Chains A and B, each alone.
Chain A
Amino acid sequence: MTNLATSIGGLKLKNPLIAASGTFGYGEDLEQFFPVEMLGAVSTKGLSLKPREGNPMPRIVETPSGMINAIGLQNVGIEAFVRDKLPFLEKRGVVTIANIFGNTLDEYVEIAGILEKTSVPAVELNISCPNVKAGGMEFGNDPQMAAKVTEAVRRSFSRHLMVKLSPNVTSISNIAKHVEVAGADSLSMINTITAMVVNTKTRRPMIANGVGGLSGPAIRPIAVRMVAETFAAVKIPIVGIGGIVCANDVLEFMIAGSCAVQVGTANFMDPNACPRILQELEAYLQSASLASLSEVIGTLRR
């Protein structure tokens, strides 16, 4: 029997795979492929105070080994999530990480306050969405602002508080340190990297929003570097994100200092990506004669 269990501080997961926000809906959409409780956790589509329609089309474009998206945080809103979506996740015993974002500090606090009254064990603070005006990016780019929003949400949400960091900054580890001091329980990193593709015939950007967020294997080496750098700078646990498509990618992130990972774009490429990666991880543990996957966390040799 292999042991894939891990924990993000006090948050215990049966395995390190978390479905990344915005790539797994509210946990129901891929039910016909595998039971959602097979995952370590699910990070929900980013939730706002009011429902949002999102950006006009085109919203996505493929790039070399990656893709750019500017969905614009289309979501049902916190109220509908709690009423219509959360019961399914609760019934299935899924570790639910509610990804939230606000246009203002007060909105973040209000959403967190609503979630405090539910069973949700963790909140992931999106202070780094590149695709909406005032959609968190201003909080994620400035160390003081990042600390301020973390501190405010910390006061209204008592359980696990994860803060998702933007890579679109000069020093991600500096932001990480500020967020740690402000009371975050963990960091998830990285969000997408702002990017653009130009249609040379029309001379317009390929997506309606102009810029979008780059994800997929193309950004993985950048993400791994940022995790390694941040692991050396903070004491709180890190959840690695960035182009993970196979077990070897998971190991890279864990060795660099992640205690769990989020799988995002791979869910688009293959709805069975997560179960396949889990199988690969089990096979790895057996072949490497490790008792527990968590043994590899932060074992990067310099």
Chain B
Amino acid sequence: MQDSLCEVAYHEDMGHSYYRIGLRTGWRGFVPGQFGMLEVPRADGILLRRPFSFARQQGDVTEIFYKKVGKGTEALSLVGVGRSLRLLGPLGQGFRETSSAGEGVGVAGGYGIAPFVQMAKQLKAKGRRLQLFYGARSKQDLFYIQEFKELEVKLYISTEDGSEGLRGRVTDLLDKTFANSPPERIWSCGPMGLLKAVQNWSQRKKTSCELSVEETMGCGTGVCLGCVVQDVQGHYRRACIEGPVFPGELLNLTD
């Protein structure tokens, strides 16, 4: 983990408020699910860095996939290629590998797709395959489809409006696919509703899951205590240090 000034290698507007930005970190890689605290231009009274999970490592460039949702991401979206931004990372605990040599199973919702790009790369490099259940609002909110095809990912898509794949929830796809025996473990990243659904599903099927939580973050280094998530014993745990990926059995998720 380090804090360094990273040049913007590329910055693409993907449409519908989604962007991907490549930063020259010089890293060799990261664990899928790990994140970084990125300094965004301090316009308009912006104070804190913003947390983003990493999508993939290509050479010395680390890619972040993000959606413009507020002041910080708005300021970030205007940053041009060649500029440099401070990035602190890689931070936190990523997804743990499964012991079996078979297929890994991921469930992504919305921009929670990011860590699965690197996950697919890493599994493929080991001669394994990612089975990915990808839910989004509609067709235009689906990204990295081409990349997943190239990485030989077994892709199952659902959209809320039915404009692509199954109309409905991504857990419906899980029910269909794993009617008999559930996978050893499910990795999931997405909005709270999805994480809860995956947690419930895993509990019902008596299997384990790992959930990547999205929380407001102040520092990313464990000192502000602003990003906690409650465990089943009622203790608050820091998402930036002990997470953002937690064993599903550990968390007491609320809205």
Residues of A that sit less than 8 Å from B by CB: 22-25, 29-30, 32-33, 45, 53-54, 56-67, 69, 71, 74, 216-218, 265, 267-272
In the complex, the chain B residue whose C-beta lies closest to that of A271 is B221
Query: Residues of B contacting A74 with CB < 8 Å?
Result: 225, 228, 236
Q: Is B179's CB within 8 Å of the partner chain A?
A: no
Report 8 cross-chain contacts, Cβ distance below 8 Å, ordered by A residue.
A23-B223, A30-B221, A53-B235, A57-B227, A60-B224, A62-B72, A71-B225, A268-B224
- The verdict on B88 contacting chain A, using a C-beta distance below 8 Å, is yes
Contacts A56-B230, A74-B228, A217-B47 aside, 8 further interface pairs with beta carbons under 8 A come to: A23-B224, A29-B221, A29-B222, A33-B221, A57-B216, A61-B216, A62-B48, A268-B223
B3 contacts A by Cβ under 8 Å = yes
B residues 32-59 in Cβ contact with A at 8 Å: 44-49
Instruction: Report, nearest first, the 9 A-B pairs whose CB atoms are least far apart.
Output: A64-B45, A60-B226, A268-B219, A65-B45, A29-B222, A268-B218, A71-B225, A59-B226, A29-B223
Taking the closest CB of chain A, its distance from the CB of B189, in whole angstroms, is 18
Is B164 interfacial (CB-CB < 8 Å)?
no
- Verify B48–A271 contact, CB threshold 8 A: no
A273 CB to closest chain B CB, in angstroms? 10
Interface residues of B (CB under 8 A from A): 1, 3, 44-49, 72, 86, 88, 215-216, 218-219, 221-230, 234-236
Q: B residues within 8 A CB of A24?
A: 223
Interface of A (DSSP majority class) = loop
A64 touches B44 (CB 8 A): yes
A265 near B222 with CB under 8 A, answer no
Task: For A30, give the chain B residue with the smallest CB separation.
Answer: B221
**Closest CB-CB distance, A24 to chain B, in whole Å?**
6
- Chain B min CB distance to A96 (Å): 16
Known A53-B236, A57-B229: A30·B223 in contact at CB below 8 Å: yes
- Tell whether, in the assembled complex, residue B47 and residue A66 are in contact, meaning their CB atoms are under 8 Å apart: yes
Q: Which residues on B sit within 8 Å (CB–CB) of A265?
A: 47
Q: Given that A54-B225, A71-B225, A74-B228 are known contacts, is A60 also in contact with B216, CB under 8 Å in the complex?
A: yes
CB within 8 Å for A271 and B3 given contacts A53-B234, A60-B218, A67-B218: yes
Q: A53-B235, A54-B236, A67-B218 are in contact. Are A269 and B226 (CB under 8 A)?
A: no
Residues in A neighbouring B48, C-beta threshold 8 A: 62, 67, 268-269
Most buried by A among B222, B224, B227, B235: B224
Within the assembled complex, what's the spacing in Å between the Cα atoms of A267 and B3? Answer: 13
CB-CB under 8 A from B3, the residues of chain A are 33, 270-272
Chain A residues, Cβ within 8 Å of B45? 63-66, 218
